[in-house]
Amino acid sequence: MIYKKKSFSLEKKMLPTILFQRNELLTSFQQRVRRFFGRKLFTSLFVNFGSSKTIIEKKYFNICKNEFSEIKDYFPKTTKNILSIGCGVGGLEYFFSYIKTIRKVDLIDRNFVSKKVIYGFDFKNLEAYNNLDYTKYFLLSNGFSNKKFEIFNYDKDKLPNKKYDIIISLLSLDFHYPFSVYMNYIKKVSSMSTILILDTNRPNYFKSIYKKVKIIKKVEKNIHPYWRIMCQRIIK
């Protein structure tokens, strides 16, 4: 697949939010330094003195491009409606604009940054680090038609009610908070052919929810090791 861009266009004010969401943008040494200074102070120093916006734009683009390349073969050939849960700023979702059959991408996330950014598993689903205004601006400024996507605030908006061809939640659902938070909703908007792709540290758990579960890859060299899985034929 040939892409029109080789780097994202970002506003400097968006960089802290992206760095909160994407540990991969930092080297292992920088991550150790961040633990020493604290996430917010380190991120402020890094954005203003430690790296150029151009470098972050290109690295973020390549990370998201590689993620899309890993999962794009699992998209149905006639994919029309996509749901993204925990979309963040929308780097991965930008690449959905290259799917020729696409009708609409719906994006769901929260709209605040927790006072203390924690990257563990949050059973109560109280933590967040996103700004949905940034998500909208990012997608539009990078050429995603506003007719092709809609953004929903998990805490305030009525969530969309339609059947999706594919549901994506990378490094979010069942990675940071339990699948049960969205399980009833996902059952509601899924048909028997709907595909779910997510990251989890308990792939066998999904065999009780879906008739088909396939491991796409296992990631061990990460702060939180996980499996990326594809699920289909939900048991209702």
pLDDT at residue 2, as a whole number: 80
pLDDT at residue 119, as a whole number: 62
pLDDT at residue 116, as a whole number: 67
C-alpha span between 118 and 216 (Å, rounded): 27
Range of weakest confidence among 6-10, 18-22, 70-74 = 18-22
Burial class, 2, CB count within 10 angstroms (exposed 0-12 / middle 13-18 / buried 19+): exposed
Give me the chain's average pLDDT, please: 92
Cα 170 off chain centre by: 5
In a domain, 217, yes or no: yes
In a domain, 15, yes or no: no
* 69-99 burial code (b ≥16 CB/10 A, e <16): eebeebbeeebebbbbbbbbbbbbbbbbbeb
Question: What is the arithmetic mean of pLDDT over 3-20?
Answer: 92
What residues make up the domain containing 115?
66-234
Output the CA–CA distances (angstroms, integers) from residue 20 to 26, 41, 43, 111, in the order listed: 10, 12, 8, 14
Between 223 and 84, name the one with better pLDDT: 84
pLDDT at residue 83, as a whole number: 98
Q: Name the H helices within the chain.
A: 15-21, 28-37, 39-45, 53-71, 91-94, 132-141, 180-188
Query: How open is the CA angle 69-112-156, to the nearest 5 degrees?
Result: 95
In a domain, 53, yes or no: no
In a domain, 121, yes or no: yes
Structure tokens of 161? 């009610």
In a domain, 176, yes or no: yes
Residue 181 has pLDDT above 70, yes or no: yes
Name the band, by pLDDT with cuts 50, 70 and 90, for residue 9. Answer: very high
3-state secondary structure of 161: coil
C-alpha span between 18 and 59 (Å, rounded): 11
C-alpha span between 9 and 106 (Å, rounded): 21
pLDDT tens digits, 92-148 = 999 999 999 999 999 999 999 877 666 667 777 777 889 999 999 999 999 999 999
pLDDT at residue 236, as a whole number: 79
CATH number at residue 204: 3.40.50.150
Residue 232 has pLDDT above 80, yes or no: yes
pLDDT at residue 229, as a whole number: 98
In a domain, 81, yes or no: yes
In a domain, 216, yes or no: yes
Question: What is the arithmetic mean of pLDDT over 77-94?
Answer: 97
In the chain, how many domains are there?
1
In a domain, 31, yes or no: no
Q: Which residues have C-beta within 8 Å of that of residue 174, sequence separation ≥ 6?
A: 198, 199, 200, 202
